[in-house]
Structure 1
Amino acid sequence: MVDKDVSWDRRNQFHLLEVVAQWEGRVTTEHLQRAFDINSRTTSGGIFKDYGEVAPGNLVHSASVRGYVPSETFEPCFSHGRLDEYLSLMTRHGTLNPSFAGLKDVPAPTESVSIPHRAVLPEVLRKAVQATQTRSRLEVVYRSLSSPQGEERIIAPHTLVYSGQRWHVRAWCEKHRAFRDFVLTRMASGAELLGDALEDADPVLDANWQNQVLVRLGPNPGLTPEQQHLVALDYGMDDDQELKVPVRCALTHYLLQSLNVVWGSCQLSPIEQPLVVVNPEDLEPYVFNG
């Protein structure tokens, strides 16, 4: 069991140790020095020592590679063992950590596509964050396709959500008396907190948020068997050629969007849409305009 008292800074450092060690086979004090702007080899050595105390036997020092390597019994404690964690570290230097670009131990250049960030007004985000933290009502002028000029709404946000393309809040809407998604970029300036949220706004009552649905995806049957097999490999499907993804019901639509799975009558060619939903009847209640 990992010590819950480990500080946030140490957890971040331990996360890097595990991810680099797992996916490169070696992690060194120089990784820590460059990634966290540590000037002292003694300090970075102390981080390895601290990690060894909370995750004994996970990393072992190897004189031959002049660094630490994963042991045969290595088990991630501060990471999840997923490739995307490594890729995230390798691309993070472009936005969060410029020093990471200088790592000599990076095996190959990496790059990622940067999706333009839609402009969220800082004052709007601050009010939304405050409302979620204090469980407050929030009065906003909200613009939508049906009301592009905007109309006043009173909402009670409980969670900020990044859908992969934009930020929104999951909130109780007093006008519609239902939990809905409100895109932050569509909120005008001047949002105001109005006091405690109503009892109906309790997040526990947001059934589509609290409950999950299993999204089952498979290769598009319009592809050749060889192409379907390749798609199955691309997405790490099981022997049944299915990718099974549990997701909050309220986030089902966004998951399909991120995987380029088109819902409804507008269909792409099999090459353009290599994945299809295997269980559409289970998802239909949670897909917009489904």
Structure 2
Amino acid sequence: MSTFDLSRAQASKEINAYKNEHPENIVYDLSAKTYVPIEGFAPKYAQLNPSTYLNDLVAMSRGEAIPDASWYSLTPEVFSPPIPVRGVKAETLRLLMQAIDSGRHVRTLYQSMSAPEPKERTIAPHALCFDGFRWHVRAYCFDAEEFRDFVISRIVRAKIVEQSSPVGCCEDVDWNTNITLEVGPHPDLSEAQRRVVELDYEMTNGRAQLEVRKSMLFYTLKRLGLDTPVEARPAHQQHIILTGPSDLLKQMRGAT
């Protein structure tokens, strides 16, 4: 009644309609004087998705508006470690989106971490990507003559160049190539620890497969702690390892 601003009569009508439609789901508890779910309750109009619920709780804890928040009757206090804000300028993002939409070049002044001073680069952007911490624009760099990722917050200055881009996303081989990462529990974990890791990563027969664009491989390996040799960290710190064909492992390690 409170959530949907219903009268008692209307709420009773809706609950009775649900009970008639799905009698196997709820029953009236005389002692509690309320309807309760029957053991084995199965949702009929929504999916039970723990990831969605937990992500929504994190978002609400940060003050974000969640469209379906009114459905949540339990919203415990939540804390997640703060992530430093990456200074993406609205005008830079808007210009990049316009260039992606129109297929035009962008002349940028870009500060790379491999150079002491920013350099001018002409790029043809075609997509955005997020590595979990920073937003990048995927673009063809005419100066380097290859497709690269550019951290948006490191674009000091940008201006659209009116000519249309002669290159498109279909030519970005690494962007259009998917690689399947196969991971498994670290072999030095105990049997009980391996079982927990298998549950953590929803593994089947001790393996989980993650599909990633080849251009995002470096970031994915880094986030999973797989960008260093297995022996670099003890098993209790590095819970998973890469498994799969040896040639694929060599290819992935070479990409880092």
Q: So what's the TM-score if we normalise by structure 2?
A: 0.76
Give the 3 Å change call, closer, same or farther, for CA 228–152 of structure 1 in structure 2: same
Give the aligned residue type for 2:90.
P
More deviation, 67-76/162-171: 67-76
SS of corresponding position for 1:172? strand
Q: Distance in 2 between matches of 1:143 and 1:103?
A: 45
Q: Distance in 2 between matches of 1:227 and 1:249?
A: 31
Give the 3 Å change call, closer, same or farther, for CA 122–66 of structure 1 in structure 2: farther
Structure 1 counterpart of 2:197? 231
Give the 3 Å change call, closer, same or farther, for CA 286–117 of structure 1 in structure 2: farther
Structure 2 counterpart of 1:84? 51
Give the 3 Å change call, closer, same or farther, for CA 274–71 of structure 1 in structure 2: closer
Q: Unaligned stretches of 5+ in structure 2?
A: 15-20, 29-33
Superposition CA RMSD, Å: 3.6
Give the 3 Å change call, closer, same or farther, for CA 184–254 of structure 1 in structure 2: same
Give the aligned residue type for 1:269.
P
SS of corresponding position for 1:232? helix
Q: Is the 8 A contact 2:175 2:214 kept in 1?
A: yes
Q: Distance in 2 between matches of 1:75 and 1:249?
A: 37
1:112-165, Cα deviation, whole Å (9 max, x unpaired)? 233112112222222122222222111111111221311110111111111101
Give the aligned residue type for 1:74.
K
Matched, 1:117 2:85: yes
Correspondence 1:101-250 to 2 at 5 A: 105-106=73-74, 108-189=76-157, 191-199=158-166, 201-239=167-205, 241-250=206-215
Q: Percent identity?
A: 25
Give the aligned residue type for 1:186.
R
Q: How far does residue 194 in structure 1 lie from its aligned partner after superposition?
A: 0.5
1:24-68, Cα deviation, whole Å (9 max, x unpaired)? xxxx871xx6xxxxxx559xx9xxx9xxxxxxx89x996856699
Structure 1 counterpart of 2:220? 255
Q: How far does residue 257 in structure 1 lie from its aligned partner after superposition?
A: 2.0
- Tell me which protein shows more strand as a share of its residues: 2
Q: Is the 8 A contact 1:262 1:268 kept in 2?
A: no
More deviation, 261-270/152-161: 261-270
Q: Is the 8 A contact 2:107 2:121 kept in 1?
A: yes
Q: How far does residue 104 in structure 1 lie from its aligned partner after superposition?
A: 7.4
Q: Distance in 1 between matches of 2:210 and 2:239?
A: 16
Q: Distance in 2 between matches of 1:82 and 1:152?
A: 46
Q: Unaligned stretches of 5+ in structure 1?
A: 1-27, 34-39, 50-56
Structure 2 counterpart of 1:12? none
1:252-276, Cα deviation, whole Å (9 max, x unpaired)? 2222222222335882221111111
Q: Is the 8 A contact 2:182 2:208 kept in 1?
A: yes
Give the 3 Å change call, closer, same or farther, for CA 287–121 of structure 1 in structure 2: farther
Q: Distance in 1 between matches of 2:200 and 2:215?
A: 26
